[in-house]
Structure 1
Amino acid sequence: MTTPWILGLTGGIGSGKSAVAQHFIDLGVHCVDADHAARWVVEPGKPALAAIVEHFGPDVLQANGELDRTALRHRIFQAPEERRWLEALLHPLIGEEIVASLASAKSPYAILVSPLLVESGQHKLTQRVLVVDAPEQLQLQRTMLRDQASEEQVHAILKAQALREDRLKHADDVLLNDRDLPWLQSEVERLHRFYLTLHGGQP
């Protein structure tokens, strides 16, 4: 049995990458979400959570023993060196979690879904990159609607994410998501048929 090749799937906030990933899953493709992996590695009982508590103190825990993400975010938001400490701890663990999950894939290719695919270096785990792109105005509208967020908040998130140009530079395929869901799903199906013809992500 051949090992599945890995497709990296990324896109800015509100670009529609979750809808794209979901349709690939519906088509039977094994998807690993980097955000989920980031949550798994800090679950109660995991060594990473113990290290975080030891470093930041018990006030980064909720009453039920789970990580209080908001409290932790406040701590690292003000202090770049604390953020670097946390990233140095978590990134390798998240990477291991992702690799293990991708290795269990049974589909001809597997997908790593990550909003920070390019910035985090996770694209090195993939053989091909698909960027879901959308005009910035549309990203703003979708995110404000979905998260009940203000325009300023969404602008701040857009600024923190990779520049669109950087993402697109790494793209082998670009899916411009500026129409309705049925059209988007038909584009995913078209890409899926194409991906099934590839070996190691290459034609």
Structure 2
Amino acid sequence: MINPAFKPWILGLTGGIGSGKSAAAQCFINLGVHTVDADHVARWVVEPGRPALTQIAEHFGPEVIQASGELDRGALRARIFEHPEERRWLEALLHPLINQEIVSDLARATSPYAILVSPLLIESGQYKMVQRILVIDAPESLQMERTLQRDGSSPEQVQAILKAQARREDRLSHADNVLLNDRDPAWLKSEVERLHHFFLTLRGGQS
């Protein structure tokens, strides 16, 4: 039986593209840690039937909605890429909804600590929701290699994404813990297990 006064502390998990964030998060999930993925939440708040999608359609017009009724992310991305003020409008609409959903999902956690996985944990200010930050790190050459293999993107596209994300040094400067993920999946799993045992000894994210 869970103590009603029990409140897990929140770990922020972040890392650049191709660093292995998702693989690390899955290792924590396998260990029974409640995990919320900010990217999944961001997609959920604009699904058909959600109020945000209606507001986006009213603001940007029907060309950002596919025939299926789903958001046309490519069309929307093109619009906000060309018009920074439109991007700001969209962020002002979505960020509070995303954060509200993340908070309510984390509140349902019953594990000793819960994890918020977010590629933009630092850039978006979501790090303010967490008590501790774990950065999954990898050399840039390895990030490029993994992303090219996984997404079939061009090297130019991957470089553009790397530039848009926080600089590696900035991310590392916020880290309480760093996991250098430059080996195989078995190594990653053992490192996550080691960190998990350490995190279980913490109260409120602090020793």
How many Å separate the matches in 2 of 1:97 and 1:46?
A: 13
Task: Give me the TM-score of the superposition, normalised by structure 1.
Answer: 0.99
Match of 1:135 among 136, 139, 142: 139
Task: Give me the TM-score of the superposition, normalised by structure 2.
Answer: 0.97
Match of 1:166 in 2: 170
Match of 1:14 among 18, 28, 31: 18
Deviation at 1:156, TM superposition (A): 0.7
> What amino acid sits opposite 1:177 in the alignment?
N
Match of 1:24 in 2: 28
How many Å separate the matches in 2 of 1:143 and 1:43?
A: 26
**Does residue 55 of structure 2 align to residue 51 of structure 1?**
yes
**Does residue 95 of structure 2 align to residue 94 of structure 1?**
no
* Runs of 4 or more consecutive aligned structure 1 residues displaced over 6 Å after TM superposition: none
Match of 2:68 in 1: 64
Alignment of 1:34-49 (within 5 A): 34-49=38-53
How many Å separate the matches in 2 of 1:20 and 1:38?
A: 20
Deviation at 1:104, TM superposition (A): 0.4
Alignment of 1:78-117 (within 5 A): 78-117=82-121
- Unpaired segments of 5 or more residues in structure 2? none
Deviation digits for residues 183-202 of structure 1 (CA, Å, limit 9, x no counterpart): 11000000000000100000
SS at match of 1:174: strand
Deviation at 1:46, TM superposition (A): 1.1
CA RMSD across the alignment? 0.6
**Does residue 205 of structure 2 align to residue 190 of structure 1?**
no
Deviation digits for residues 2-50 of structure 1 (CA, Å, limit 9, x no counterpart): 1010000000000001000000000000000000010111111111111
SS at match of 1:32: strand
- Unpaired segments of 5 or more residues in structure 1? none
Deviation at 1:152, TM superposition (A): 1.1
Count of residue pairs brought into register by the alignment? 203
How many Å separate the matches in 2 of 1:149 and 1:55?
A: 31
